[in-house]
Chain A
Amino acid sequence: MSYILILVGCVFVNNVVLSQFMGICAFLGVSKQIKSSVGMGGAVVFVMVCATAITYPLYKLLEHFEITYLKTVAFILVIAMFVQLVEIVMKKTMHGLYKALGVYLPLITTNCAVLGVTLGNINNDYTFLESLTNALGTGLAFTLALLLFSGVRSRIEGNDFPEAFKGVPATLIAAAIVSVSFMGFAGMM
């Protein structure tokens, strides 16, 4: 039951993009088309789950040596290396998957949502399975926000805004409205 609660909480109530503001750069940059949103979302889900699977035992190791203050340094280094490794392996062995997800992988290293999830798991004292659920849920939340927003953006594309609002400001205000819709979930938990 607690796993379902974590999952629902991540995806709807505390949406990683729309209420916690992580991964905004990718959210605004890649949400132009539905196809690229799906690709980016898939890559983020994959990296988040794998990064959690690696950083959780790593934290236990740091705990054992009583150097937990190094967690930020250790986590980001592991995530950066992991992302590069996956990109290389994918390029060699799984060409189809690489074409679908690969180009988004380098962009993920500095996506704060990934580091945010791994640090959040530690700060919330989740168990290993809860951490994995949290990572999966957060990744799905990111994908959902990206997908919804790419739909909104395709609608506002050719609209006639005041000159100063064209481009990014209009996108941000559209994001505000999408975010309002997610406020409706706030009372659920």
Chain B
Amino acid sequence: MNDGKRTLYEFTKGIIKENPVLVTLLGMCPTLAVTVLAENGIGMGLATTFVLVCSNAVISLLKGVIPKAVRLPCFIVIIAGFVTFIDFMMKGYLPGLHSALGVFLQLITVNCIILGRAEAFASRNSVGRSVLDGLGMGIGFTLALFAMGSVREILGLGSWLGMKIPVLSEKPMTIFIMPAGGFFVLGCLIALVNKLANRRPPKEISCDNCPNASMCSGQCRSREGV
């Protein structure tokens, strides 16, 4: 692969091939919790993208400075700083969305996608690459959330982005905006992606894409006797 192609790949891989939610199964909590409306999905996705791009850039800049032993607390503090920033901005400019996302906006801090990318990518690559990687992953996350939110809003409320859909809105299937519907829609979406990609689905959420793998060094796996 030549250089230009490689750079482009850093950007596009997060959108489809390594989509954080649907393929590597990271960041499930916000995916399930905020996607009652398609609009909330976009808002959460964009907020996460912002934090992801900024933290990837800063961590990549500091990769020579942060000692290896304390890198995870350092990463978390950097991420938490940007989360506080976006929290303030959203409270000021989009108060409706801010209250809809609730505590999950602050919980972006512990979103495994962000820590996972910091650990696996930004702490090993140049600033430009890390920003592209963050942008791609963020867009992939946003698209997945938007898809989830659209399905749940259309089936559960009979509307899409606030617009009423004629027949469906008369008797919407409320179960889809309840917690159970979230689990169900996400399961179906992942199955759909498996089917379309025609690949063997991941058997379990494995240590391979767990951001804590370096800390627990596979102890959780050996303990479960996998």
Q: Do these two chains really belong together in a complex?
A: yes
Chain B 28-41, CB-CB to A under 8 Å as 1, else 0, gives: 11101100000000
Does A115 make an interface contact (CB < 8 A)?
A: yes
Does A164 make an interface contact (CB < 8 A)?
A: yes
Contact A167 B201, beta carbon cutoff 8 Å = yes
Does A148 make an interface contact (CB < 8 A)?
A: no
From 101 to 121 in chain A, residues with beta carbon under 8 angstroms from any chain B beta carbon are: 103-104, 106-107, 109-112, 115-116, 119-120
Chain A 23-42, CB-CB to B under 8 Å as 1, else 0, gives: 11100111011001001000
Stretch at the interface among B53-61, B150-158, B163-171, B185-193: B185-193
Contact A25 B28, beta carbon cutoff 8 Å = yes
Q: Name A's interface SS.
A: helix
Does A95 make an interface contact (CB < 8 A)?
A: no
From 155 to 189 in chain A, residues with beta carbon under 8 angstroms from any chain B beta carbon are: 162-173, 175-177, 179-180, 182-183
> Which B residues are in CB contact (< 8 Å) with A176?
180-184, 187
Does B17 make an interface contact (CB < 8 A)?
A: no
Contact of A172 among B33, B186, B195, B203 (CB under 8 A): B186
Contact of A173 among B28, B187, B201 (CB under 8 A): B187
Identity of the chain A residue whose Cβ is nearest the Cβ of B217 in the assembled complex? A106
Contact A116 B107, beta carbon cutoff 8 Å = yes
Stretch at the interface among B3-11, B71-79, B129-137, B139-147: B71-79
Contact of B190 among A73, A169, A175 (CB under 8 A): A169
Quote the shortest CB–CB distance from B211 to chain A (angstroms): 7
Pick the most buried of A21, A109, A177: most chain B CB atoms within 10 A of its CB.
A21
> Which A residues are in CB contact (< 8 Å) with B33?
20-22
Contact B110 A112, beta carbon cutoff 8 Å = yes
> Which B residues are in CB contact (< 8 Å) with A22?
29, 33, 107
Does A80 make an interface contact (CB < 8 A)?
A: yes
> Which A residues are in CB contact (< 8 Å) with B32?
21, 24
Quote the shortest CB–CB distance from A86 to chain B (angstroms): 14
Alpha-carbon distance between A75 and B218 when the two chains are bound, in angstroms: 27
Contact of A168 among B109, B179, B181, B202 (CB under 8 A): B202
Given A24-B32, A112-B107, A115-B109, 10 extra CB contacts under 8 A: A21-B28, A21-B29, A23-B29, A24-B28, A28-B28, A29-B205, A32-B226, A109-B215, A166-B201, A179-B179
Q: A116-B107, A167-B203, A168-B190 are in contact. Are A183 and B183 (CB under 8 A)?
A: no
